[in-house]
Structure 1
């Protein structure tokens, strides 16, 4: 049974609309700027990276885009990872299940897809804390493109602040994601 460690309060939704990095519409341009490892959050972002011949080291997907099921070709493309971890993560939350899968996947040499039963929308925030410096998180900005987050002290501080302001058990989150 997964435990919710962070819940997004309604009053914080506006805070998450500002992207954590630059927005790209061209996948090749994004990949030219991306570090290693790459974590993709979202089915469509993962699909675009795969179409550009770059399998993300970690992909976090939920089979949906804008709360609708993704097309079969997207699901089929996402099926080719070395490892798969299934987790439960309800809408507008971050669970220990998701965080433990993320922490586990970061330490693997095999490409890993984390398949979320629920919603993966907030996963980019803890991913910034879990991925080593030099890595990148890529997530979708609805109707705009793909956001590239380069891991730095600044992006980590911003994500730590977001998590601490949520209804969260930040100490437990940090404990799970600690290298």
Structure 2
């Protein structure tokens, strides 16, 4: 029997999800794997396996289906972050700043915002499906403007 977790989250409005799915930084176009790029924070399993960086945020999936085994750096922690949300737990882990690998149960995409709030002017890399890799410089003010549009919610999560 699976345990149920009540997870406090912030959810973007539907119009914002479409905007956030477009590249938010410099897009490096290329076929997998794109190498010779680096960023402080790497989001996604393929990006974490192929680029150089200090912090990896992974979920053992690519495009929500294909299971892959990324290279893991210690120390690591687990994070529950339901799909299409930013859990408050992600904010806490980003603030702690002492983990090199974060294994996400759910989806890692919006966890990027939690790290952007805590790491001003830090490079963050994430995959742009079927196109390449995006690298952005974190900007606390921009992240706050985006998060102000999110709505608080509670998600009952039973996939842990």
Q: TM-score under structure 2 normalisation? A: 0.80
Residues 140 and 147, structure 1, Cα contact 8 Å, conserved in 2: yes
Write the deviation string for residues 23-57 of structure 1: whole angstroms up to 9, x where unpaired. Answer: 113431x33xx5xxx011111110111xxxx3x21
Q: Does 1:165 align with 2:149?
A: yes
Contact 2:49 / 2:71 at 8 angstroms: preserved in 1? yes
Give unmatched runs, 5+ long, in structure 2.
Answer: 154-160
SS in structure 2 at match of 1:27: coil
Q: What's 2:85 paired with?
A: 93
Task: Decide which structure has greater strand share.
Answer: 2
1:129 match: secondary structure: helix
* Stretches of structure 1 lacking an aligned partner (at least 5 in a row): 170-179
Counterpart-to-counterpart distance in 2, 1:125 and 1:27: 24
Give the aligned partner of residue 9 of structure 1. 13
Which aligned pairs between 1:87-126 and structure 2 lie closer than 5 A? Answer: 87-104=79-96, 106=97, 108=98, 112-126=100-114
Q: TM-score, normalised by structure 1?
A: 0.72
Moved over 6 A (4+): none
What is the CA–CA distance in structure 2 between the aligned matches of 1:157 and 1:114, rounded to whole Å? 24
1:129 and 2:121 are equivalent in the alignment: no
User: In proportion to residue count, which structure has more helix?
Assistant: 1
Backbone CA RMSD of aligned residues: 2.0
Q: How does 1:28-67 map to 2 (within 5 A)?
A: 28=36, 30-31=37-38, 34=39, 38-49=40-51, 54=52, 56-67=53-64
The 8 Å contact of residues 80 and 89 in structure 2, kept in 1 or not, is answered as yes
